[in-house]
Structure 1
């Protein structure tokens, strides 16, 4: 009922491949990009395998950012709405005391960032002796130097016969080393051809730096924007642009890494609930953020590499959704534009005077 109420009718390819394997108890190494439905690919089997009569933590889902932790726990709660499964989310930057109090009550499924969960495990408050499933989402990020030591320590707190599910968009060497060391005969799912640029119409507009705001204003007046995310390459530019957009008379939020965490959470939550039409942000926001209503992504500053481009633009045309990406390109960006097109095997066309609404509005 939870799956049905969430509006899922047919499984996406990653769900179709992962869910049955996860239910058998095998380790999984899945390579899939954002927007292919991977959150549900591990949340559904996780919820299915939890025994709600046992008041112990049975599943831990590790993610690299607080935003993703909140979003993932929300998906677990929605999918498990008709089960008596207790979901808890814990991340750094929030009150440790509240988490400790919460862990005195039953928790079946714990979603969080590695540092905080390790902290609670070391203190003996978060007991993982009965945790039979460990999920790592955005594993490439989790196995970067920032997180890897915490992850390796955490693994010693879970039973030896645990099941590990690894989901990652890219497979750097660290992921391979981790797989060889900790996964037992993992089932490999590779859906990298499921490019999330599918359904997204991409355009570029050749502008001078000083014309960018004027160009953005024109886009706002011409496009049928449901919600948009606008990317800048620095914190400073995010704030300046947000101010400009507000002065032009459009509703606008902004979010960046130097903001306080609960402020960030509030902005994210309000934008997601449709309180505002436009969100200006840095790349902090690009991994795994899924807001169905976003139909336009604008690169106010063009990104430096293909992966960032994909993560940014992959926002707007999520699994089965249409979207539009508009890139403001200066003279200095022209080589990057060409290179990113080559690397992603995609075409970014020059923006026409009129854009057909059918390509990005449902």
Structure 2
């Protein structure tokens, strides 16, 4: 059974009247069902945390810790994460007993992705997007900026969708489906889109707003090089972003070069 926020709670409650062996969902919705007494977790022997670094962000961690209280003391917790920030380590030390740690970070590199930065003033960013690629994902750091940028790109005459966390789930699903099927060339989004969604046709990521930390950067940019494809990441950097640029390069052990006058398509298209 799958359950997420933004969908019918009544339908979930009705489905839980039948035996459910595997429950996949968002922390807030599962916690809500557990508190209502319709989702009985006392015999649940395993908790799997996919994208654990995101689940242990301030937005979700309180719900995760409350959920654990509904599980038996003998439960097993499995955590999967592309990055290993302090929050994941602290949670592991607190809730996992003699855990096994399997590190596959050597496979989670930026290999195959050419990364560039362009120093621009804030007012120049939209102008830089006049040279758009065949299919790209463009990241902003807030819901408001996503909507404003998508509107501006459309006004410039380019096909564009947008997606963010404040949209209804059905609307987000429809936008994602249409973009995946090629209904438009560009998708403007928040970091909601970086987790667990793979679109093989996307080979260009544009950070319209540069991320604040290396975890977010890896999740955004790593998407363009998945499935063994070549990828291109273009970062629009303002004066205020310069220290974050250097820090992220150091933390990820990568090089983000200044963008050249011309970008050869061969570096991101086979």
TM over 0.5: yes
Q: Distance in 1 between matches of 2:62 and 2:36?
A: 17
Distance 1:150 1:221 in 2: 40
Q: Verify the 8 A CA contact 1:238 1:280 in the aligned structure 2.
A: yes
Q: 1:247 aligns with which of 155, 179, 187?
A: 155
Secondary structure, aligned partner of 1:202: strand
Distance in 2 (alpha carbons) for counterparts of 1:121 and 1:342 = 43
- For the Cα contact (< 8 Å) 2:134–2:185, is it kept in 1? no
Q: Following the alignment from structure 1 to structure 2, what is the Cα–Cα distance between the partners of residues 140 and 257?
A: 18
2:117 to 192, 195, 204: 204
2:105 equivalent in structure 1: 192
SS at structure 2 position matched to 1:189? coil
CA distance in 2, matches of 1:328, 1:221: 18
- Gaps of at least 5 residues in structure 2 are none
Measure, in 2, the Cα distance between the counterparts of 1:350 and 1:186. Answer: 42
Q: CA deviation at 1:230?
A: 0.6
Matching of residues 1-362 of structure 1 within 5 Å: 88-220=1-133, 228-362=136-270
- SS of 1:135's equivalent in the other structure is strand
What is the RMSD computed on CA atoms of the aligned residues?
Answer: 2.6
- For 1:302 and 1:148, the matched residues in 2 are separated by 25
Q: Which runs of no fewer than 5 residues in structure 1 stay unpaired?
A: 1-87, 223-227
Shift of 1:111: 0.6
Change (3 A) 1:175 1:308: closer
> In 2, are the aligned partners of 1:132 and 1:162 still within 8 Å (CA)?
yes
State the shift of 1:229 in Å.
Answer: 0.5
CA contact (8 A) 1:132 1:161 kept: yes
State the TM-score, normalizing by the size of structure 1.
0.66
Cα pair distance change 1:146/1:351, threshold 3 Å:
closer
Deviation at 1:130, TM superposition (A): 4.3
* Count of matched residue pairs: 270
Q: Secondary structure at the match of 2:105?
A: coil
The more displaced of 235-244 and 89-98 is 235-244
Aligned partners of 2:45, 2:35: CA distance in 1, in Å? 19
For residue 254 of structure 1, report the CA deviation from its aligned partner: 0.7
